[in-house]
Amino acid sequence: MFSTKGRYALRIMIDLAEQNQEELVPLKDTADRIGVSKKYLEIIAKELVKAKLIIASSGKHGGYRLTRSPEEYSVGEIIELLEGPIVPIACLLPDSDECPREKSCPTLPMWKEFAQLEHDFFFGKKLSDLI
């Protein structure tokens, strides 16, 4: 299950994609359009800026905008930034310890297959598909 941070990050990115790509969009405007508090969006936007998915400028005419065109963002990269790796079970996390039952686990192939389907779905879907 995805948290509100991951879902709202997508909503911020969609809102920015729907605006004029050349202009900075005040976060207050985005907050009003998507119905989420500006304060909460500031936390999420800070992470998006840090990852260089969006740029920010402060001041009277400040705001946010995408760093790339909407076609160049995958939904997967946005979700993973806020949520971490998209995997169904802990033993498939990139930094997990080797499972002692890996060789004998009858369900592991199924989880790996599901993880691949999930990965392909989210990384195959572009931000532009959502606008």
Structural domain boundaries in the chain = 1-131
Q: Is the pLDDT of residue 7 over 90?
A: yes
Q: Is the pLDDT of residue 61 over 90?
A: no
| CA–CA separation, 127 and 112 (whole Å) | 26
The mean per-residue pLDDT over the stretch 92-119 comes to 89
| CATH number for domain 1-131, candidates 3.90.1150.10, 1.10.10.10, 1.10.3720.10, 3.80.10.10 | 1.10.10.10
117 C-beta neighbours (distance < 10 Å), count: 11
- pTM for the model stands at 0.90
pLDDT bin (cut points 50, 70, 90) of residue 75 is: very high
